Amino acid sequence: MFIKQTVKERTRSGKVPLHFCAESGSVQCLDLVLSMEPFLVNTQDEEGYTPLHLAVINGNKDAVRRLVTAGADLNCLDNEKHSLVHWATVCGEVEILNLLLSNGAPASTPDIHLAHPIHYAAQMCGTVNGVSGGSRARFKALSMA
């Protein structure tokens, strides 16, 4: 009972344990939490990130597959209306992008800047692994539209 209750607890940033499982890529952790509280699969934190967003951003292919299988919403948007396809594009995660699209994720959703994933793909063209400078640069790229 105690463990089942704690998997619903949120951090100050609004994350539940499932966010951390997805971020780290631990499929065993995802399975454990989802077996107790499957409704957490689409929980958004204060930035609007679902566990699936974090799995995509961190390039955790197995976690993405598991969350999609668990019924994660492929139409989810973060607070700046970035779709999963936006994030897979900016992070250079081609295999994840193909997985999302083959499972029905929308390919062309505008964000708050009215930029579609193709705009970010064009912006990233010619860079090594998306953007040099790591994840901070990737986040900056999504705000430069």
Q: Could you give all domains of the chain from N- to C-terminal order, each with its CATH number?
A: 2-142 (1.25.40.20)
Q: What is the mean pLDDT of residues 32-53?
A: 97
Summarize the chain as % helix, strand, coil (round to 5). 55, 0, 45
Write the pLDDT tens digit of every residue in 121-142: 988 876 655 444 455 555 555 5
Quick one: CA torsion of 55, 31, 76, 86, rounded to 10 degrees?
A: 20
d(CA 31, CA 53): 17
Average pLDDT, the chain: 88
* In the chain, alpha helices (H): 2-6, 17-24, 27-36, 51-57, 61-69, 84-90, 94-102, 117-124, 134-142
Residues making up the chain, counted from first to last:
145
d(CA 130, CA 128): 6
Write the pLDDT tens digit of every residue in 96-115: 999 999 999 999 999 999 99
Write the pLDDT tens digit of every residue in 50-72: 999 999 999 999 999 999 999 99
d(CA 18, CA 33): 6
Amino acid 132 reads S
